[in-house]
Amino acid sequence: MKFFSQEEIFLLFFIIGIIIGLIFDFFKVLRKSFKTTDIITFVEDLLFLCISGGLVVFSIIKLNGGEVRFYLFLGIFFGVLIYSLTISNLYVIILYEFIKICKKVFIFFNKILFTILKTCKNVLKYIYLKIKK
């Protein structure tokens, strides 16, 4: 196991704070992009909690030998704060546009698939009626 100085640990947990901010914005964009029920919103919130909490616990164990220190949480806090004040808006815009494009592509291919299936159904129905006569 590699030992890190306190400054390195603080920087690593600062990066973890940025990652948590990215994950939070991802769920925020998903929520705005798709209409969700309260149950789905609860599940998304629970999933965010599990992912971010698991990331923090795993990082404390792997990076700091399981030692919990105040500066770890200070690093996470500043990571989330700096991320939110700087690149969060840009990330949300890019992610929202990406999801919009993905939805359009999905709808396009869904229409093509539906048209193919409808055509196959009509052909099979025509063949069935020809055989029946």
Predicted local confidence at residue 133, as pLDDT:
66
Q: Where are the domains of the chain?
A: 6-102
22 touches 88 (CB < 8 A): no
pTM: predicted TM-score of the whole model, two decimal places? 0.81
Element (H, E) at 56: helix 38-64
* Axis crossing angle, helix 6-33 with helix 88-132, rounded to the nearest 10: 40
Element (H, E) at 80: helix 70-85
In angstroms, the CA 133 to CA 131 distance is 6
Mean pLDDT (the chain) is 93
In angstroms, the CA 28 to CA 43 distance is 13
pLDDT over 90 (residue 1): no
Predicted local confidence at residue 127, as pLDDT:
85
In angstroms, the CA 66 to CA 44 distance is 28
User: How sure is the predictor about 79, in pLDDT bands with cuts at 50, 70 and 90?
Assistant: very high
